[in-house]
């Protein structure tokens, strides 16, 4: 699936910091350390070569040894201050204290004792360094889902016990299933439970606010060699792909490239004319319809044709309703539709 821009930014900064301390490193070793391909490492170096501090003249840019790179070795020659320790102002420190307090209070952190300890340690050190200003920060998190459900999920994770869930998916289908919880994650303002679903004998990702009921069972979770990514992209894709959901291919103008980063995609291709081709799978046609209607000016082509026909029919129906409601009133122009909300493809 397409890589999110913020994920790549974190890796780019990490490359600079690592190379600054490690010295020359072979491309293959960097690829293994950062979990990418050697080709991606070279592309990252190319991107860093034209990055730097404001001014962006040659003397402001991050620099590498071009000759060693030809031999497969990445050598950082100028970091341009990217590895200097960060100095926080009072306002920045207070904002970071607030974020850490919110993180520490979140169920996703509380469900993992090691993560909770790391966050608590960082919070204590930053609070002490910030001084009295940190005492003015009060963080109260709004609940994400039924409190009983959240409590059951966090308890099951902490005690290593199985869960019985009643869950409604994006297509409004309710099912009951037993799940061995693996991890609780948050992304884009929503909380997700990653677990091994015994009903389908596979890993699945569940939005916590779609869990209608949850009970902790006596059975302990079974030991399985299941990788759980820190980002939801792989889990969301696995959840959709295993259900054999139909595929759609969208050709979008460059202004809509965010779709490739925000929506779990099967493949992404940049085309010579500047457009981007995104192939994705959907379990809810209404979700795809809303996505295309909301971004209609940037949609160049859609395949299969029946998807495009469905969207066109919906747009004509909306225009017809609008025309009928304004027939006896003052005229006006249609600037869009109300179908601008998005939905996830998680079951």
pLDDT at 165 over 90: yes
Q: Over 230-252, what HEC string results? A: CCCHHHHHHHHHCCCCCEEEEEE
Task: Name the fold adopted by 147-241.
Answer: SH3 type barrels. (2.30.30)
Q: Which helix (H) or strand (E) holds 92?
A: helix 90-105
Q: Of 3.40.50, 3.30.70, 2.60.40, 3.30.420, which CATH number belongs to 247-325?
A: 3.30.70
Query: What confidence score (pLDDT) does residue 302 get?
Result: 87
Average pLDDT (288-309) is: 84
Q: Are 194 and 228 in contact (CB under 8 A)?
A: yes
Q: Are 247 and 288 in contact (CB under 8 A)?
A: no
Name 69's Cβ contacts closer than 8 Å, sequence gap at least 6. Answer: 27, 42, 45, 75
| Pairing between β-strand 161-168 and β-strand 25-26 as defined by DSSP bridges | unpaired
CATH 3.10.105.10 fits 5-78, yes or no: no
d(CA 84, CA 289): 48
Least trusted range by pLDDT, from 42-56, 122-136, 286-300: 122-136
Alpha-carbon torsion angle 247, 252, 257, 259, nearest 10:
-40
Q: Give 78's strand partners.
A: 63
Across 6-10, 133-137, 337-341, which has the greatest mean pLDDT? Answer: 6-10
d(CA 341, CA 255): 18
Query: What confidence score (pLDDT) does residue 345 get?
Result: 37
Q: Which two tokens stand for residue 310?
A: 């469905």
Q: Which helix (H) or strand (E) holds 148?
A: helix 147-159
Q: Are 277 and 249 in contact (CB under 8 A)?
A: yes
Q: Are 226 and 182 in contact (CB under 8 A)?
A: yes
Q: Are 253 and 300 in contact (CB under 8 A)?
A: yes
pLDDT tens for each residue of 24-36: 999 999 999 888 8
Please give the angle made by the CA atoms of 172, 179 and 153, to the nearest 5 degrees: 85
pLDDT at 331 over 60: no
Cα torsion 200, 203, 205, 211: sign = positive
């Amino acid at each position: 699936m397409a890589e999110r821009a913020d994920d790549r930014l974190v890796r780019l900064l990490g490359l600079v910091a690592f190379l600054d301390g490690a010295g020359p490193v072979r491309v293959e070793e960097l690829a293994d350390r950062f979990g990418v391909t050697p080709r991606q490492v070279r592309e990252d170096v190319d991107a860093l070569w034209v990055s730097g501090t404001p001014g962006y003249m040659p003397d402001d840019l991050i620099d590498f040894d071009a000759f060693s790179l030809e031999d497969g070795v990445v050598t950082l020659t100028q970091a341009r201050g990217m590895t200097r320790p960060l100095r926080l102002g009072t306002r920045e420190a207070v904002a970071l204290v607030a974020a850490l307090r919110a993180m520490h209070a979140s169920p996703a952190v509380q469900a993992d004792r090691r993560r909770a300890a790391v966050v608590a340690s960082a919070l204590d050190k930053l609070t002490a360094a910030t001084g009295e200003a940190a005492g003015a920060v009060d963080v109260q998190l709004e609940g994400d889902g039924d409190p009983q459900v959240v409590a059951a999920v966090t308890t099951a994770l902490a005690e290593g016990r199985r869960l019985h869930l009643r869950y409604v998916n994006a297509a409004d289908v309710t099912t009951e299933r037993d799940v061995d919880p693996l991890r609780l994650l948050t992304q884009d303002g929503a909380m997700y439970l990653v677990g091994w679903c015994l009903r389908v004998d596979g890993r699945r990702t569940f939005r916590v606010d779609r869990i209608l009921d949850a009970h902790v069972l006596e059975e302990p979770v079974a030991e399985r060699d299941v990788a759980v990514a820190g980002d939801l992209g792989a889990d969301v894709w696995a959840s959709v792909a295993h259900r054999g959901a139909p595929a759609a291919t969208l050709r979008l103008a460059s202004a809509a490239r965010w779709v490739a980063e925000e929506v779990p995609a099967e493949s992404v291709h940049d085309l010579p004319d500047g457009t981007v081709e995104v192939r994705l799978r959907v379990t809810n046609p209404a979700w795809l319809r809303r996505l295309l209607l909301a971004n209609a000016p940037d949609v160049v082509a859609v395949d299969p044709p029946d998807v495009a026909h469905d969207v066109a029919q919906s747009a004509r129906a909306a225009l017809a309703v609008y025309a009928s409601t304004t027939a006896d009133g003052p005229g006006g122009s249609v600037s869009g539709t109300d179908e601008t909300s998005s939905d996830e493809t998680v079951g």
